[in-house]
Structure formats: C-alpha cells, structure tokens
Chain A
C-alpha cells in the first residue's frame, strides 16, 4: 500500500502521475489538503486512482499545535480512516513544511520527500526567506531546522526533485529526478487523457500558427503591483510583441482579472487546471507561449516555436513601463545594426533585447553584455559599435566610468542612454564638455482620449500623456533626423519619437542637466543629514 500526501495542485498532479506510472498495481491512499478539496469539488473522481481519499488540514499554528495537537489530530484522522502508517510501503510527502510533513518529521516516520516546487531543493535559504515573510520568523526557523525545506533526514528514504531547475548541482544517492511534463509526455495517450480529464473537462481548443498562449500571474493579488498596473503590463506585452497573434489566455488560478473585457478578441481559458497540462489541452499547438515572469513556462517552453518571456525585474520591478524607451532606442539603432555595427549592452535587462529581436525584428544581432568593472573603459572604443546603456550599479560613483568610455569612443560609435532610472549616469561635472555630442530623442506618449478623461474616480490614469527622453551620444556628424510613431491600441496610447535639432535641443538638454543637478543635490543633502545625525548620535 502506498500513501501520497499533497497540498497544492502541482503536488497532486505529481502524485497522480507517479502513482499511475510507478505504483500502478498498488492500492493507494491520497491525503488531500482542504484547500484542494474546495478547489476541486470533483475530487472523489480520483478514487479510480486512489482507493481512499482523506481530507486533512494542512495548516497548523506554531508553536501551539506542535507535537501534541498535531499528533492527536493525525492519529485520530488516520484511525478514523482506518489507515495504519506502519503498513505503508511508501509514504510520499509533498509540501513537507505543512502539517502532515511536520507530523512525519517530528515522529521520524520513514517517508519519501518531494521538493516543494521546481528547483526548491537547492534553494532552502530562499525558501526560508520566503516563509519567514509568509509564516513569520519563528515558524520558518522551526521548519528549516527540521529539514522540511530540503528533506535531509536519516528517515527520508528518497528525495524527488527536478534536476533541470536546480540552481546548483546536487549530489546525493537518495536523489531521484522527476520531470512532470516529461513524464506526462511519456505516458500512454489514453492514460494521459484520463489524467487531463480529471482537471480539464472541456473540449480541446483548436490552435496553430498565429496563436499565442499567454500565461498570466496574479501580481495584484500578491500586492506586487496594482490592479491597473497588472492590466497595463499585459496590454503592453500584447501591443509590442503579440499584436499579430490571436491570444489564448490562461490566467493563473488566483488571477481573477477579466481578460475577456480587456482583450475582446481573445479566448480566455477559465477552467482551473495545472499549467503543466497546458500543452495537452490544444488540438494542434500554438506558435507562441508568452509570460511576464511565470516559472510555469519552463516545463514546456521547448514545445513551442517561440517563447516570449521576461524576468523578475520586468514585473516585480515594474520595468514594463520602459518598453517605450527600449522600442525607440532599438528602432534608432536598427539601421546601424543592419549596416554591420556590433551591439553592446551595459546595465540592460537582456530580456528586452531578446524579445524585441525575436518578435519585432529589431537589432537582430548577437550582443555583448559589458561590465565596466571587469574591463576598464579605456580598453573599449574600436568603432562601429552601438552601445545601449541603462541602469548601472551606482550612478553617483560610476558616472566617471561612463564618461571615460564616452571620451574613448570613436566617431562612428554610438551610445544610446535609456536612463530609465533618471540617474543621468552620463553626466558628471568634470566631463560636462562631452555634452556637446549629446542629442536628445523625445518620446511623446499621448493617450487616445480627451485630456479631462485622464482622471476618473478610480484615480489618475496610468496612461496619461507624458514625455520621456533618451539620449544619443555621437561624436561624429549630427545625428540623423529621426522620427517614428507606434500605436498601442490596447494600452490606449500612441508613442511617437522625435530627434531634436538646434535651439529646442539645447533647451531639452539644459532641462536634463538641471534635473540631473537637482538629483545630485538631493542626494548630497540627504547624505549630509544622515552624517550629521550619525555624528549627533556618536557625540551623545
């Protein structure tokens, strides 16, 4: 007899696949968390796979419930269900940091440990940090010490993990690799359909070339950004990268955004099922899989022709607002790249470049990410390079490095400063003379609505009119007249960019210098205050 204890949908899916593949002939007991019971009211259908299903409370209070209460609870629960742990050949525990895992580990009951999520086994410190925030420091510390994050205990027979997602090589003879999507692919079609059929009971969706499946995340729910910002992020992604595709949107189970009304031509897959099953619910295969930063994409990215993917900074750092600047910068640089220029990046999120290259055909060339600390500025400057510079580590101290680079460059080199953090890393007083080679491209973002509609009772609009600037450094001849315009229909703005000449340019540049000076001023004012305060404390 085998027992599987699961807490999340991912755990449940792993348990089902493992049971069907490796313990088919054995009778099985499934311990299902109450959350899953609420989420899947049809759970009793799984009795075709697990003869007995027991619902349990995965939550526990620390330290009140520890040992006595938990013991009493599980002894009674298992007793009432006529389950004797000592008779189990295998006890698989998923989400060991929850109640049943704690019970097993405190009582040193032999079990088979499954990592909490993809790659979690090699990230126990990150898990500690995460659970400190969600569970509190004492509870997290307790879980860590009990090895609930890594399963490193003598009574743990085996540890299952997905090798592909680990942040470091793990070496232990009790480790066992398990890739859920791969296992699903290897299953017999009939058996796989039966598994899928538990979670997804609709007809398969027809898809093919020209379709893009978009996996969303519930940023607003997690308070990473506001509701409007979450909507805006996906509108930006769609307008810049997915405008040619029909959208098939798979919201995260906890994402309640009404994408039906945001993207009126899209198809929203509201049925709740694990994202690992996503490739298997289509008749045919969409051309593109897209996400902002969901790790759910990792399992099946190789199954799609194209992948649109950003990273943590893009969403959590709200860098999606910078797409307009990058689009303009790369559009400007594109003609140079087509003429054989090299592409070099400093402080640039490479995901922007990859995605603009792949989906917008801009600056399609290999690029180098440069670190000025590793190689001093003087060693660059071979000519025929387009440099794209954005956020550097400490703009106040590294402005000198950037200016030295500017000094060293040839006349046919170009630097485009995106300046998303407004730090003007290319301006420092001793190198002020370099600004005569600086040109400004102004980006005008105009909302497609009347100005008075930019403020409503929901607050200031996230897409009100504004102007942004990027700067082009070119020692050679005056920069080419540059102009572009792009409509973003979902976002509801038109982005236009214009290079400036003459007096207007001078004014723009002076405005920029002023802003830069003010920022420095504030920085030093604050520093002075902090130092005076420190001095005061020391004297006291």
Chain B
C-alpha cells in the first residue's frame, strides 16, 4: 500500500463522519478537485479539526442530515470497521482456498466452482470395480437443510412446545444425549446409545414423555431429510449394475427407523443397514466395519463418507478402501455471513451450502448472486409485506415498477391473497408530475447529480430526458447552449434558466399528468387502503406516488408506503422522518428507526460502486425505466440497458429458485419464513465490505447513477467507468 493511500486511510476513512462529508464534497466538486486541490485540502483540514480535535457531534457541512444520532463521535461509536477485519484482497483470495479462511465471498467467480468434485457419474464409475459399496448416511446420502445437525433440535423443541425459559431444547436434548452416553459407557462399556435411551434421560429432566419426544424427533427428521442429488446418481448407477450396497452410520436411530428415512428419500435396493446403536460399536474404532466384513467375507469393499475420522480413517483400519465426500457445510462455511440469528442463519446457510456444494452443478456467477444474496431478502420482504398487509387491513398492494416487478412475481407465487398490481412509476414520473411542488428537488435531480457523474452529458440530453423544450435563444440568455456539457461550472446558470421557464415546463407536464391520472385511477379502482411498495431508499418514490394519488387521483384513499430499505439519516431524506414515525412509511431491512448499523453499512461502504447500484440489480427488470406518458397516452421509456438483460435474467432466476426452494424446504414449519430484516440484509452486508467482489465482477454492468444516462449517445455509464472515475478523482485506494 502506498504511503499516500495509508495516509488517506488514516485521516479520512477511519472516521465515518469525515469520510462522508469529505467524499461527498469531492463528488459534488469534481472539476474543482482537479483544478483547485488546495481548497479541498483546506476543507479536509477543517473537517479533521471539527471531528477529531474539537470532537463535535453536529455536522460541519451537510446539515440536512439529522443531528447527534447521525453523527456520532469516534468515541461514542468506535468505527466498527476497525473491528471487522478489512481483508487485503490478495489475502482474501488466498484465504478462500486455505485451511483457515477469512469469511467473505469467493472472489474468483461463482462459488459453486470453488470446490471441485468429480462428476457423479465418474465417481460412480470408479466404484464399479468393487463388489460391496458401503455408504455413510447423514451428510453423504442424506442432507438436512441446516448448518449444524443439532440445529434441528430447535424445531423439535418448538413442536414439543418445550418451555424455553432459561435454556433451549437443543441444549437440553444434547445434554441428555451426553448423559445417556456416559451412563451406557459406565454400565456396558460403550457410548453408542439409541434414541429411546436418550429420551428416557430427557424425560427424567424435562417431563417430556419419551415416546412423544422420540416420535416428534423422528417425524422432524423425516420432514427435513432429503437425498443428496449427487449421491443419488452414484447410488442408482451402482444399483443398476447390481452391486451390493450397504449403509453404515454412527447414529442413535435404530436400523428400522433409518430404513424408513432412507427409503422416504428414494434409496431402495440396499442389502443391509449397519447402525452404531444397534451394534453398540462405531465406525471410528473400525468395529462397525468389521461387522460388514463378517457378512461379506473376501469381498472387495469400499466405504464413502464425509467424516474423515469415522468414514476414512475408521474404514481404513478395517481394511476398506475409502472415498471421501467433503461435507457441504465444511466447504461453504467460509463464505457464509456471520451474525445471523441462530435458526434463520442455520436454515439459510444449510440450504445454500447443500445447493451450491453438493457437486451437481457449477452455476453462473450472477445466478448465484441472486440465489445467495438476493433470494433471502426478497423472500423475507414478501413475507413481511404479507403479514403487514393482513395486520393493517390493506385492500390492494401496488408495486412500483421496475423494482416492483420481481417483488410482485414472487409475492403472487407465494401468496396472492391480497390483490396486487404493478404500476409503471419512477423518479422521473415523481419529479415531472409533482413538479409544481418541488422545483428545488427537480433541479437537484435533473442537473446537479448529472454534473457529478462520470459521463460528460450535454444539456440537450438532460432536457430531452425530461421532455423540456427550450430554444437555443432562451439558453443563450444564460450563457448556455444545447451542446453545453453539464458541470459544476454552469450549474447555477442552468438552475436560473429552468427557474425562469418553470411555468412553461410545468404546463407541459400537466398535459401528460392527465393521462397518468386516468391510468392510475383505473389501477386503484375501489381500493380504499393501499400499500405502495418500492425498493428504497430515501422514500421519495412511494411518498411521491402517495402525494400524487392523494392530490390528483383519489383524495380519500389511505396510502401507506413500504420499502425494502430506508436510508434516511445517511442520505438526504430528513423529510421522510415524520412519515416513519407516524407509520406511513416503513422499511423492512433497515431504516432511520431500526437496524441503523445496516443502514450505515449500506450508505457508507463500497463507495466507489455504491451499494444502491448493486443491490438494485436484484430488482431490476428486462425493460427500461419508465419516463412518463406521451401526448397520445403512449408509454415513454428511457434508454434500454440491453447489456444488463441477460444478467438480470440470471439474477432473477437465482432469486426465484431460492424463494421456491426455501419455501418448499421449510413448508412444514412456516415460521421459518419469517426472516428478520437484519438476517435478510446480513449476507449482502458482508459483500459490502469486499468491494473487490463488485469492482471485479460487475464492471460491465450499466447503471443510471444520476437519473438515466447520455440520451444523445444512448449511453449509460457502467460500474467500471464509475469506479475508474471515483478513484481518479477521490484518490483513494483502488
């Protein structure tokens, strides 16, 4: 790392407040950063004095953010990025392949390509030379969709209505097993207990009738165990070739129960099951394998399993050949987010690891992006919408397109009880059709943001995208022309020009607005209580639609606004705060009122790419953004981001598949679909700290950072262009 970068890191990045204000200032004054660098250094100096020396809590420059709750000092909330080790990219790549990896995404591509397994039919072919094939059962033939096997006890406890007052059922159940083993060891010299013995122990301590406990646990296993698709192919190949197949397991479930479990998962035609609790010996000592030798003397036997000690070393002790099938959770654990809640986290991680690492598929990168990071958020969000809509007596849910497209698709697939529609709406529409009420916001969005973007956009392009017609003569009055490049230098002039022509601009929009009103009226119908759903972030989208409806369409309609994420304090949305507090506006993942840490991460991390850009990829659609309605009532769209469509398709497929798979897997305990916003955002928040993930793989994706792109050249900046520009002008570490 260069000295300059180290210095920047120390002076700027280590303090979130300095970083926010300084980087925002630079973004808004990029040409000045080039031409008058000393002015920026002066500002930086002032910020350092303000926050580090004077220890101020109130903002120095950007007062539209809330007071002390937003700007906490270094002491009050130590920069938590200190505690989260920011990995050196080289180390992260190495660590992804090392024995003690740092948690984070797989940086070299799709995660399913990380751990190579031989194709199942090759694996099966390689076993044809043996006469007897022994399979381990759990985590080899069968999977449970949990990160740790014992996590299933949490569900068992819930089904038993175990009073989890001071301890969990899982802990009690594990303790009972430990004690039962200990007792058996003392009495008979073996620790290989069966489930009845465990529940006898548990009954004494908890009062749960043993039989009830046993049946509940067995039923829960039946509900959740599923066949490993990789091993299913291997198994069927061997069966078709008439090989002798036996199943061998260190388990407390007796053989006849194990038989029910494996057969329920589609495994038939095996010759025998060897279970440690039946034979009172285990695999690790080699003793259980010797029972197989007794039954198949002189035969060439191979054993396959996931536990190195029991399945490989133990089998080799008995003279078997072995094949190691690495546990899917051991493979995937290093890439899974930490600090999720225990149950949701275990379910999510178990499912992801089983899907990505069983060896069946190498999936496309963006499909995985949707599956691993987007699916849990959208599933949780749809569940949240459904619960909230029922609680609040909503007649109709209106999803604002384009983001609402995928939300509605998933919502309808999973629920669909409450009527829903998807409407073409956008910030374009909000600004145009509510223009009379927000001239300042209009100019800010239309011009200021464009001036600070990576593209050199002509004034004509911007005017065209907002259907503003100003003659060359009119522009000349302000020292402008159609081919003027919008920048910080002519910002004031443009502002004055638009201000002076404001009435005619608004007049043009009024005609369009009439068409829009009719369309929205038809859509709303008779609904009296409506929820408007959008992705986020400041709330302007749904609040703008709400204001539009209340003013022009249906004054007596009660509208609430729901978003996936609300970035209030760190964005520019103090106007939204009263709506949060009175319940009109709410957000699932985070908001100014809850999960503030996630809000902070979303807004401050990954500044070059911006988390909004990559997060919104989950909810983009394969059509362009809606600009408004033309004179004839025709729909007008923005530049089509055709380059993204294939990627969007993959991401959406990944999201849909995750949602369906998760729902189907956990359908027997529906509460597992109640995913908290924290848990839903957690996987993505880990990504946010690995900017190289985005800067490497998302370079070619285009994103309209500042409302659309360059209309004249039909060009929207790519994330790669944006990142390049960011590092060029900010001078931070690349």
Contact = CB atoms under 8 A, between A and B. Distances in A.
B354 A457 contact: yes
B664 A453 contact: yes
Given A220-B121, A256-B241, A460 B657 contact: yes
Interface stretch (A46-54, A328-336, A517-525): A517-525
Nearest to B360: A458
B236 A258 contact: yes
Contacts of A522: 642-643
Contacts of A521: 640, 642
A513 to B, nearest CB: 13
Interface string A194-216: 00000000000000000000000
B237 A455 contact: no
A431 interface: no
Contact of A220 (B119, B236, B241): B119
B320 interface: no
B229 interface: yes
A461 B232 CA distance: 16
B124 A256 contact: yes
B170 interface: no
B241 A270 contact: yes
A25 interface: no
Nearest to A456: B229
A322 B136 CA distance: 41
Nearest to A521: B642
Contacts of B232: 458
Contacts of A260: 240
A454 B128 CA distance: 31
A521 B236 CA distance: 47
Contact of B643 (A227, A258, A259, A525): A525
A459 B239 contact: no
Given A258-B239, A270-B241, A521-B642, A455 B661 contact: yes
Nearest to A227: B121
Interface string B450-472: 00000000000000000000000
B663 interface: yes
Interface in B207-265: 226, 228-230, 232-233, 236-237, 239-242
Given A258-B236, A258-B237, A525-B643, A458 B229 contact: yes
B733 interface: no
B232 to A, nearest CB: 8
B546 to A, nearest CB: 31
A261 B266 CA distance: 12
Q: What size tier do the contact residues of chain B reach?
A: 35 or more
Contacts of A525: 642-643
A164 to B, nearest CB: 33
A227 B233 contact: yes
Nearest to B124: A256
A93 to B, nearest CB: 29
A263 to B, nearest CB: 12
B240 A221 contact: no
Interface of A: 220-221, 227, 254, 256-261, 268, 270, 451-460, 518, 521-522, 525
A455 B121 contact: no
Nearest to B661: A455
Contacts of B519: none
A529 B663 CA distance: 43
B642 A454 contact: no
A41 to B, nearest CB: 11
B121 A221 contact: yes
A389 B226 CA distance: 46
Interface in B102-135: 119-122, 124-125, 128
Contacts of B643: 522, 525
B122 A258 contact: no
A268 B240 contact: yes
Given A452-B660, A452-B664, A256 B121 contact: yes
Nearest to A459: B361
Contacts of B580: none
A254 to B, nearest CB: 8
8 contacts: A256-B125, A256-B128, A257-B237, A455-B657, A455-B664, A458-B361, A518-B642, A525-B643
Given A451-B660, A518-B642, A522-B643, A457 B226 contact: yes
B358 interface: yes
A270 B660 contact: no
A248 B355 CA distance: 35
Nearest to A461: B657
Which of A256, A451, A453: most chain B CB closer than 10 A? A256
Contacts of A452: 660, 663-664
Contacts of A257: 121, 237
B552 interface: no
B645 interface: yes
